[in-house]
């Protein structure tokens, strides 16, 4: 069986005034949580801090781990296995200005999470659950 890399990724759940911050690659129809890939020997918390600084020019006040998502998918003939480390993040300010040309940022109502084209799809159900019960989650998207 051909091996493929497992991609560790740190993601942020940033909620402010009933809205959640989501990213979208320009020209794509799906949303995802802010954050990005971890570098070798970089912790998830450090990667998240670095990614938020690169993407939004902001350093988190707090970043608390809330869950893990295993995500398996194929796109363009390539197989992916992502391992998301999901954090609840608070910021010193919420007037977000994206710093990367290929990504747009959107504040979406938390109540719309179940109907948004959010990837991985399992987060459409896990995030509202977490927001309600504040219980750590470990889920798999296939």
Domain locations in the chain?
6-141
The percentage of residues in the chain with a pLDDT greater than 90, rounded to a whole number, is 85
Average pLDDT over residues 70-87: 91
Find out whether the peptide bond into 108 is cis, omega within 30 degrees of 0.
no
Counting Cα atoms < 13 Å in the Cβ hemisphere of 54 gives 14
CA-based nearest residue to 73, from 1, 4, 2: 4
Average pLDDT over residues 18-25: 97
Q: Does the domain made of 6-141 have the CATH classification 3.40.630.30?
A: no
Spatial neighbors of 3 by CB under 8 A, at least 6 apart, are none
Adjacent-strand bridge partners of 137: 67
Q: Which helix (H) or strand (E) holds 55?
A: helix 44-56
Average pLDDT over residues 96-117: 94
Average pLDDT over residues 84-112: 95
Band (3; pLDDT cuts 50, 70, 90):
low
Cα–Cα distance measured from residue 97 to residue 101, given in angstroms and rounded to the nearest whole number: 11
Q: Is the dihedral of CA 39, 40, 45, 49 positive or negative?
A: negative
Cα–Cα distance measured from residue 43 to residue 95, given in angstroms and rounded to the nearest whole number: 27
pLDDT digits (tens, 9 = 90+) for 26-72: 999 999 999 999 999 999 999 999 999 999 999 999 999 999 999 99
Rama region for 53: left / alpha / beta (φ>0; ψ in -120 to 50; rest): alpha
């Amino acid at each position: 069986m051909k091996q493929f890399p497992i991609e560790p990724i740190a993601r942020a759940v940033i909620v402010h005034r009933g809205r959640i911050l989501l990213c979208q690659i320009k020209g794509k129809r799906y949303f995802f949580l802010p954050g990005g890939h971890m570098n070798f020997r970089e912790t998830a918390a450090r990667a998240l801090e670095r990614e938020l600084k690169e993407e939004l020019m902001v350093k988190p006040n707090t970043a608390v781990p809330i869950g893990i998502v295993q995500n398996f998918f194929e796109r363009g003939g390539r197989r992916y296995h992502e391992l998301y480390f999901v954090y609840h993040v608070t910021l010193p300010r919420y007037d977000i200005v994206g710093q990367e040309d290929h990504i747009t940022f959107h504040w979406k109502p938390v109540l719309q999470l179940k109907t948004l084209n959010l990837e991985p799809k399992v987060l459409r159900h896990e995030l509202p659950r977490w927001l309600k019960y504040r219980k750590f989650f470990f889920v798999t998207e296939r």
